[in-house]
Structure 1
């Protein structure tokens, strides 16, 4: 017999193997018929839902914040056991707060929590973390135990690479949600807490809490509900100054300053007057207040982590060194206090219904953030101008930058603004590769443009008789003196607008919130008497912001921003830099063969304005690789400005003028 050819042999072997495979598959299928398929394990229902009933005891909370070298806060809590549970013994679930007001997301510092020990009557109890809700700890309370003693540490970040730094050699920031557990099953407003804090010797502090006693370095605060405690953080420092912003007023307001260096606390009378005017202008705007005292907490620092966070009777803020001592250079940071102060009315008192929750472990829904943050961003600029924290021309330059950023942000063509209200949960402010395409928390500043649009429209429709100020007083100024949060939904906002100026406000808002578009809502500029233009003259707000943040801003020319070390912080989607294949985090080494610095790049952009000029050559370091990228850009330096339109009334001037 002739031997089989290689091809026939290969086919025969393939057929044989396939047959074996089919037999194996048949046998496997047979085995599968007798083996049950997996089914989901039911999620445990082991944590009681919050109820609006008294907890029945006061938690004693003690925090030692003196270990500055290791950035550790040591915590001890004595938690009462509810009477019914003490009679029988059983499970006491304790929560670590996760869904934090103002963050709009589950950003609790659970990863910094450590060293948990729980005792009852001196006996250590074997706590168990919940396998589904990992911020909950089950405590097996023995029968007859009326309290449990809880100890743990907050292992706060030592450097920025690990997270926000809250302890430095000169200052610290105590956020009570990071140093406390609370019992599940109750609205937090029903859980009283008496907190005490040990500070480094000689340090002073600012907080909305009020002390009931002080012994050495330990201050004990008056008991408050747990939700009020979390809403009342503390700044303390080696270098501290407290300034009265409402002298002689029945409702006190104070500016509490801490600084890296004592010289940063030198404040002029004119600067104090501008901060006092902020209080005056806010009260004139809203015609009410929702606090019995208010404490601005302001850290002037390059070491403590940056923050701007609202609370009902206080706010946490950070500014640069030079906030006061280099007043003319740092104005881009001075809308922050006005923004956070506004939140006492918009966000803390009036709050979107989806952003109110009975405790700090119930998810929040941010659909209303275009009001909560968007209108607050608008008010921050307006009040800063009216108070003299920023001049009107400076605010107009700031608005030009906002308009330009959002008018050129390509992500608006696929993602509507309302969807960005989910970003606190989606991204949690992590760096984004292509922010201008992905979009981020755009409800802040694009929301600001919507409210400028609404303000100018109300003024136009009413012939100047009404404005968004009237809406603010009508909507946020109710129940003067009340601390109770008043929730609202979309239709309530529409009604408030219609109460002041009838119009189809629902359609107006839906078009701007729910639909994609090529351009930002810039009608507030044109209706207000301005147009957005670009020139080669620097925008003063952009320059101030770049100086404070140590960045070089070429966003409207090449389409990129560059950090202090030459590292690209952002590349605009669709820009000349993007077209050339440049991405963020690359480091600029040289420009046209010359070592990089911002002035060298500016000169190269100017020289390349001639249409016949060679492309700009950037030598970039991308990890371990060096690449030279050519950018064929000939548009010159471009900075946004608002230019007056002849023949139109200057509404912006009126909006930004102080009230009397």
Structure 2
């Protein structure tokens, strides 16, 4: 009876508390959508020419001083925008957080501004009566250490990116906004850009008037140590370096870059530029970059690009990739990736064409020009195919979904990249287009190839650096015009559907198979040296960074099944102090043995033993010629054969 009574009291108490705590009704707000405060872009001429002046002399502290004159033809409210969605980045990458000291004035009198409360890249101003122009002043305080973003100013060079140092008026297509720009560089420095300088006024380089779209597409490299090489009548290689000794390129090295241009023009059968300028920085101080532009590249690589030429191919596939973008990505562009201004979001779902086929042609042109040897190219394709085999995330995430990764992940490191997937449209796209090339060769009896598609689809008018857009169906139609095949089904299966295996059929059709050997290729060794890593991903499933730190672990690999993950620090292997050589030797010694490899690793203040069940020894990818293909050239051999002398 007492127990029942106590239980009854408890229940009553709970009921009482429940009733007391819950009000009869909850407050329910109604959603109030934000007011549309920014005028939509219209394809009409902007009334006037903006004047942009940049002082880039404070390079030691990373500060660009900006003064901009913006004509106005109306009083009252106007909106100025800072570029947000940047071509070539495939995502909103505008560094508006680095804009400081912003102020506006009319006739010397300061006017107030307010940032839009939805689009923080927009600034609203009230223009007083009688005003004909607004003066904007601000500083772009660029990164001074790596964790603040990419460093664009260093002790002996800088990378001027116009979208970082300018505003533009809302309500107009950016191709309709004229702008005249001038820059003051540090004394004695030389600069290169696809923009043409027309004057020098009081130490400021004055550039020819262009539209704002072209301005943003025309970055500048400037430096104290500068050299320019003429490659062809319309192409130049412009180099800045941390030290003049890195500028010492040999004649045959420069000649290969000239051959790259000729091979690219022969491949696509056109020249959609008036002049093309490779911009190449050889630096360990300024941040690395690889962005395409219609009439230039924008690339920063390590210092020994020329001086370590004989130590492996290094980054020499970068410039072939970038010049391919002139045709694929700049002249021909997916409809969803062309926008009227830098405010509208881009739709990246055709990056498997934009970047995937560029990756494919980049390696082909690297081989045809001689920047990559044929063997280095085969070794690169082997590594790519093997790496894509590790992307077990294709079981749940189709390739097309990885095209959204620039927006989703912003290239931040991932804990389990092989399961999450990354921007796989680059390298898996390469494999898909390799297969397409070999299918066309087979179906046409060797009379056609993907090169016929490239000339038909990407070729344009000489000198036309405008844009022609396309959709997926246009790609399918063009492929069928070259060679009839079920291209719609081909693309559906490889791009839009999940699968269990990387698309390696192009290797076999091209006369090669992927095998694994016990020694790394020079390509892998050079890649490890550049990335300061040890790649054991194809066997035990680890990539090691410096000082024994695990850089990444392949999902479902032996290392994964043992419980290892990225970020752990290995202290010992089989009871011996860790070194890269000790880990490799342990793997070699364990080949064919019925035992585990004992890895002792630290996580914070705790230590653990991880027993890795792996006895297959060292494994590195390689392409092997299929028997019967050695006498005559296979499809891949013919693909990599130069087209020009």
In the alignment, what sits opposite 1:506?
Answer: 488
Q: How far 1:567 sits from its partner (Å)?
A: 2.3
In the alignment, what sits opposite 1:61?
Answer: 52
SS in structure 2 of the partner of residue 333 of structure 1: coil
In the alignment, what sits opposite 1:181?
Answer: 167
- Of the three residues 204, 227, 239, the one matched with 1:257 is 239
SS in structure 2 of the partner of residue 22 of structure 1: helix
- Of the three residues 64, 79, 83, the one matched with 1:93 is 79
Query: 1:451 and 1:621 mapped to 2: Cα distance?
Result: 43
Deviates more, 1:292-301 or 1:581-590: 581-590
Query: 2:194 and 2:18 mapped to 1: Cα distance?
Result: 74
The count of aligned residue pairs is 641
Query: 1:67 and 1:219 mapped to 2: Cα distance?
Result: 16
In the alignment, what sits opposite 2:255?
Answer: 273
Residues 69, 529 of structure 1: alpha-carbon distance in 2 compared, 3 angstrom cutoff: same
Query: 2:239 and 2:475 mapped to 1: Cα distance?
Result: 36
Q: How far 1:7 sits from its partner (Å)?
A: 6.2
Query: Which consecutive unaligned segments of at least 5 residues does structure 1 have?
Result: none
SS in structure 2 of the partner of residue 331 of structure 1: coil
CA contact (8 A) 2:552 2:566 kept: yes
Q: How far 1:463 sits from its partner (Å)?
A: 1.1
C-alpha deviations, 1:372-398, integer Å up to 9, x for none? 000000000000000000001110000
Deviates more, 1:535-544 or 1:414-423: 535-544
CA contact (8 A) 1:558 1:633 kept: yes
C-alpha deviations, 1:522-556, integer Å up to 9, x for none? 11100110111011021221111111111111111
Deviates more, 1:541-550 or 1:265-274: 541-550
In the alignment, what sits opposite 1:323?
Answer: 305
Query: 1:137 and 1:561 mapped to 2: Cα distance?
Result: 46
Deviates more, 1:46-55 or 1:191-200: 191-200
CA contact (8 A) 2:379 2:623 kept: yes
Is the counterpart of residue 626 in structure 1 residue 607 in structure 2? Answer: yes
C-alpha deviations, 1:211-257, integer Å up to 9, x for none? 111135421111110000000001111111111111xx2xx211111
Is the counterpart of residue 48 in structure 1 residue 39 in structure 2? Answer: yes
Is the counterpart of residue 615 in structure 1 residue 596 in structure 2? Answer: yes
Q: How far 1:610 sits from its partner (Å)?
A: 3.3
SS in structure 2 of the partner of residue 425 of structure 1: helix
Please, what is the CA RMSD of the aligned residues?
1.5
Q: How far 1:6 sits from its partner (Å)?
A: 6.6
In the alignment, what sits opposite 1:352?
Answer: 334
Is the counterpart of residue 70 in structure 1 residue 61 in structure 2? Answer: yes
CA contact (8 A) 1:330 1:548 kept: no
Query: 1:652 and 1:10 mapped to 2: Cα distance?
Result: 81
Is the counterpart of residue 18 in structure 1 residue 15 in structure 2? Answer: yes
Query: 1:64 and 1:169 mapped to 2: Cα distance?
Result: 16
Query: 1:20 and 1:437 mapped to 2: Cα distance?
Result: 48
- Of the three residues 446, 450, 453, the one matched with 1:464 is 446
Query: 1:511 and 1:433 mapped to 2: Cα distance?
Result: 28
The correspondence of residues 306-455 of structure 1 with structure 2, limited to 5 A, is 306-455=288-437
Query: 2:214 and 2:400 mapped to 1: Cα distance?
Result: 30
TM-score normalised according to structure 1 size = 0.95
Q: How far 1:69 sits from its partner (Å)?
A: 2.4
CA contact (8 A) 1:202 1:217 kept: no
In the alignment, what sits opposite 1:578?
Answer: 560
C-alpha deviations, 1:466-518, integer Å up to 9, x for none? 11111111111122321120000111111111111111111111111011111
Q: How far 1:330 sits from its partner (Å)?
A: 4.1
Residues 5, 156 of structure 1: alpha-carbon distance in 2 compared, 3 angstrom cutoff: same
C-alpha deviations, 1:81-127, integer Å up to 9, x for none? 1x2x1xxx211101110100001100111121211111111111110
- Of the three residues 24, 30, 38, the one matched with 1:29 is 24
Is the counterpart of residue 79 in structure 1 residue 70 in structure 2? Answer: yes
Query: 2:142 and 2:419 mapped to 1: Cα distance?
Result: 34
Query: 2:185 and 2:110 mapped to 1: Cα distance?
Result: 28
Q: How far 1:427 sits from its partner (Å)?
A: 0.6
TM-score normalised according to structure 2 size = 0.97
In the alignment, what sits opposite 1:168?
Answer: 154
SS in structure 1 of the partner of residue 548 of structure 2: coil
In the alignment, what sits opposite 2:128?
Answer: 142
Query: 1:655 and 1:281 mapped to 2: Cα distance?
Result: 13
The correspondence of residues 198-277 of structure 1 with structure 2, limited to 5 A, is 198-215=184-201, 217-246=203-232, 249=233, 252-277=234-259
Q: How far 1:17 sits from its partner (Å)?
A: 4.8
In the alignment, what sits opposite 1:642?
Answer: 623
Is the counterpart of residue 592 in structure 1 residue 566 in structure 2? Answer: no
In the alignment, what sits opposite 1:474?
Answer: 456
C-alpha deviations, 1:183-226, integer Å up to 9, x for none? 00000000011111111111111111111111354211111100
CA contact (8 A) 1:616 1:633 kept: yes
Q: How far 1:303 sits from its partner (Å)?
A: 1.6
Q: How far 1:592 sits from its partner (Å)?
A: 2.5
SS in structure 2 of the partner of residue 322 of structure 1: helix
SS in structure 2 of the partner of residue 277 of structure 1: helix
In the alignment, what sits opposite 1:656?
Answer: 640
CA contact (8 A) 1:323 1:330 kept: no
In the alignment, what sits opposite 2:116?
Answer: 130
CA contact (8 A) 1:71 1:158 kept: yes
Which consecutive aligned stretches of 4+ in structure 1 deviate over 4 angstroms post-superposition? none
SS in structure 2 of the partner of residue 636 of structure 1: coil
CA contact (8 A) 1:200 1:217 kept: no
Query: 1:242 and 1:216 mapped to 2: Cα distance?
Result: 24
CA contact (8 A) 1:236 1:258 kept: yes
CA contact (8 A) 1:193 1:225 kept: yes
